């Protein structure tokens, strides 16, 4: 099974700041990676797919990058509505999710 190691587990940042969340796969997943945002009490929402493609309706301050085993999600100019948990997911070989990153405002 492919393991996904996500970091950091939690993150505190100020409004307007740029934040980066990372995921490392235990083997090459060929950019078959998605990022989700989950707000308390809600289901996850797709942000990024295929490592760097923005899902419909997602603000352009979100971006994804990476290849091979290393991937990252960047949020530019952090807004209050970005407070949430973020998860990566590989779909190269079935599915595995990262453990999540809880993003809070400083």
Partner 1 sequence: QVQLQQSGAELAKPGTSVKLSCKASGYTFTSYYIYWVKQRPGQGLEWIGYIHPGNGGTYYSEKFKGKATFTADTSSSTAYMLLGSLTPEDSAYYFCARPLITTFFDYWGQGVMVTVSS
| Residue 25: partners with Cβ closer than 8 Å, 6 or more residues away | 2, 3, 4, 5, 33, 68, 69, 70, 71, 90, 92
Does position 32 interact with partner 1 (CB under 8 A)? The reply is yes
Does position 95 interact with partner 1 (CB under 8 A)? The reply is yes
What's the min distance (Å) between Cβ of 78 and partner 1? 22
Q: Candidates 14-22, 62-70, 72-80, 87-95: pick the segment binding partner 1 (CB under 8 A).
A: 87-95
**Residues 33-62: x where in contact with partner 1 by CB under 8 A, - otherwise, as a string:** -x-x-----xxxxx--xx----x-------
Q: Which residue in the set 21, 75, 89, 103 belongs to the binding site for partner 1 (CB under 8 A)?
A: 89
* Residue 33 phi, psi dihedral angles, 5° rounding: -135, 140
Does position 91 interact with partner 1 (CB under 8 A)? The reply is yes
What's the min distance (Å) between Cβ of 85 and partner 1? 9
**Residue 82 in tokens:** 């970005």
Determine how β-strand 19-25 pairs with β-strand 4-7.
antiparallel
Q: Give 55's DSSP letter.
A: P
């Amino acid at each position: 099974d492919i393991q996904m190691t996500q970091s950091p587990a939690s993150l505190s940042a100020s409004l307007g700041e740029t934040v980066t969340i990372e995921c490392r796969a235990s083997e090459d997943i060929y950019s078959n990676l998605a990022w989700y945002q989950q707000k308390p009490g809600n289901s996850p929402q797709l942000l990024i797919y295929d490592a760097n493609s923005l899902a419909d309706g997602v603000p352009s301050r979100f971006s994804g990058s990476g290849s091979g085993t290393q991937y990252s999600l960047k949020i530019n100019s952090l807004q209050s509505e970005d407070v949430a948990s973020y998860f990566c997911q590989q779909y190269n070989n079935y599915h595995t999710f990262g453990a999540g990153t809880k993003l809070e405002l400083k």
